[in-house]
Amino acid sequence: MEERKKTDNLSLQSDATLDVDDTASYPPVLEIAPFPTLASLNEITTTLSRRSQHATKGMNDHSDLKGSGMESGAKVEDDTFLEPLDEGWKSKGWLVVLSTFLVNFSVFGYCFCWGNFQKLYLQPDVYGTETSAFKIAFVGTSASACMMSLGLFISPVIMRLGYRRTMCIGTVVAPLGLILASFATQLWHIYLSQGILFGLGATFVFSPSIGLPSQWFVKRRAFATGIAVSGSGIGGVCLSPMSQQLIEHLGYRNALRVLGATMFGLLCISTALAMSRFKPSPSGRPWYALVDRSLLGTQFNLLFLFSLLVPFGYIAPFFLMPTYAASIGVDSTNGAALVSIMSATNAICRIVLGYLGDRFGRLNIMFFSTFLSAYAILFGLSGGAFVSMIPSVTADIVGIANIQTGLGMSYAATTIGNLMGTPISGLLQTQYGWTAAIQWCGAITMSASVVALVLRMVRADYKLYAKV
């Protein structure tokens, strides 16, 4: 009799540990079951049935999203079965935000100070007799184009190696590109090192890091991403005058070496802080798949078109500002300071508009800010907001589990704009003057804002007053 009671108690203990979270809602188990094994089997069946009903209910709870702009090509975000998020100030997600901030500070901060090197390389005693403003611009634009567009090809690497190991590659390669450029003796050395190699290394740190803040935040997603990407603006504030001072006092070769060493230290810290909430590619797709066709649909296609247009008018003002300042009689120091001012207001707008995006709708703010940035006087206050909005909007459209692939596809669309935007503006300036170049940037940005408006209306089911 005692042996039977022990068996029954073991059975009850086993049943009680099946699903601790749901035991309170289950009917009480008999203290002494006539057939212990059957009692355990019945409890297991009940548990599986309840879990199945819970999963079905979770799917049904999202069925109303179809009427609010969600379509077959979009993925429903569901954090129900993930670890609950703590979005307070003690959350370790803020360390991830700091990691992404340092990446943006380093790689984009350098890109924003490229104008100082471009103006230098055009001097006759450097490379001025071998190139032109149109040709040399491809060094800076190829770096930014590689950084953004190669994310589509880096996604399979991230799925294979993980986020942190992928960032380790970029932590070495990106600074190496700048240091090798300091030893260049011919123009094509600059294209390969300061352009291609740096851009390749930058994408290995940028692509894994840019989607990480969105994994740790839901309600504060755009705000957290805005803080993270504001690093690029603050990097421009710091590195643009710093690089100009280094060039004037140490020469451009030593300036490149100092920038490379500084970048390596910052990227090491960033890589150490990078943490992911879950492993990449949880959907079970092959790691080498570049494009997920299931993500394609009206909403994502409109986001893709927006990403294609918007960089044409965004990068050129930062790259051409030192040259424009020199053309109106401003010295090199003040020309670099103008880039710093633009970068500072750019950083502030990313944080503020990211916060407003969480409160009033991310697509609403993305359209509004892009529309305002088409006007030169408002560019610094609104131009960079789309950078903080694209990761958040992508997560809203494709789902947080697919954000790495979605971002890779979105950033791949920026290739042409990042590569050709500044050269086209420079060519227009050479042929028709600065007014034509400025009008081109404004017109293409206005076109991007129209696409953002269409996407906003589609996702809001054509309602004028909706938070989307």
Q: Domain 95-281+292-459 falls in which CATH fold?
A: Growth Hormone; Chain: A; (1.20.1250)
Q: What is the pLDDT of residue 201?
A: 93
DSSP state of 67: G
Mean pLDDT of 173-202: 91
Choose the most confident range, by mean pLDDT, from 239-253, 279-293, 412-426: 239-253
Helix, coil or strand: residue 241: helix
Q: What is the pLDDT of residue 267?
A: 96
Mean pLDDT of 184-212: 90
The span from the CA of 214 to the CA of 225, in Å, is: 7
Q: What is the pLDDT of residue 19?
A: 36
Is the pLDDT reported for residue 439 higher than 60?
yes
Contact partners, residue 164, CB within 8 Å, separation at least 6: 208, 271, 274
Mean pLDDT of 341-354: 80
Mean pLDDT of 414-431: 83
The one-letter amino acid code at 68 reads: S
Q: What is the pLDDT of residue 357?
A: 84
Kindly report the pTM of this predicted structure.
0.67
Residue 47: pLDDT band (50, 70, 90) is very low
Residue 96, CB-side half-sphere exposure with 13 Å CA sphere: 23
Mean pLDDT of the chain: 76
Is the pLDDT reported for residue 79 higher than 80?
no
Q: Which residue has the higher pLDDT, 395 or 10?
A: 395
Residue 409 φ/ψ, nearest 5 degrees: -70, -40
Is the pLDDT reported for residue 347 higher than 90?
no
Q: What is the pLDDT of residue 172?
A: 96
Mean pLDDT of 354-372: 85
Q: What is the pLDDT of residue 35?
A: 37
Stretch among 76-80, 124-128, 213-217, 449-453 having the lowest mean pLDDT: 76-80
